[in-house]
Amino acid sequence: MPTKKNNKETLTATELKEIKKHLLQLKEEAMARLKDKKTMDMPEAEVGDPIDDASRSIDKEILFELSGNAHNTIEQIEAALCKMDKGIYGRCEYCRQPIPKKRIKALPFARYCVNCQHSNEHRHD
Ligand SMILES: [Zn+2]
């Protein structure tokens, strides 16, 4: 260990623990959403009302949208948890600078600092 002096953007062990708990909770919620979607996709015994059918297909589109996000979220959360295990959590994957705590707490599975996030959004390749 080169230095024990923590810069103030470095997450403490307690903060990391809290964030991990939060991440696991988010992951559970996202998984529950995915599971809900699967249940909805199961063939139902009682079908046949055309009005019901129409509204159900709209529901499905919304659910698809949601589950797409949930799937994405789970992947990002898992990546974040994996980085915690490796001890590299809280750093921008691009410029390796610590991600400000404020951002980490708002978006615990953030992969980039605000600057890199923006440049990634502008670059489409
Ligand atoms: Zn960065």
- The domain that holds 116 is classified in CATH as 1.20.120.910
Which tens digits make up the pLDDT trace of 38-88?
666 555 555 556 666 666 665 666 555 666 788 888 999 999 999 999 999
Contact 35, 125 (CB under 8 A): no
Give the pLDDT score at 86: 93
Closest CA to 109 of 87, 90, 88: 90
Range of the domain at 35: 13-42+49-122
Q: What is the total count of domains within the chain?
A: 1
* Interval between CA 101 and ligand 1 midpoint (Å): 14
* Interval between CA 69 and ligand 1 midpoint (Å): 23
| Opening angle at CA 24, ends 28 and 41, nearest 5 | 20
In-domain check, residue 77: yes
In-domain check, residue 30: yes
Give the pLDDT score at 96: 92
Give the pLDDT score at 55: 62
Segment 4-23 mean pLDDT: 83
Is the model's pLDDT at 125 over the cut of 80?
A: no
Greater confidence (34 vs 38) lies with 34
In-domain check, residue 6: no
In-domain check, residue 5: no
Closest CA to 33 of 90, 77, 80: 77
* Interval between CA 52 and ligand 1 midpoint (Å): 49
In-domain check, residue 59: yes
In-domain check, residue 114: yes
| Stated pTM of the model | 0.66
Give the pLDDT score at 77: 95
Greater confidence (78 vs 37) lies with 78
In-domain check, residue 3: no
Segment 9-20 mean pLDDT: 91
In-domain check, residue 8: no
In the structure, ligand 1 is a single-atom ion and the residues with CB under 5 Å from it are: 92, 94-95, 113, 116
Q: Mean pLDDT over all residues of the chain?
A: 80
Give the pLDDT score at 85: 94
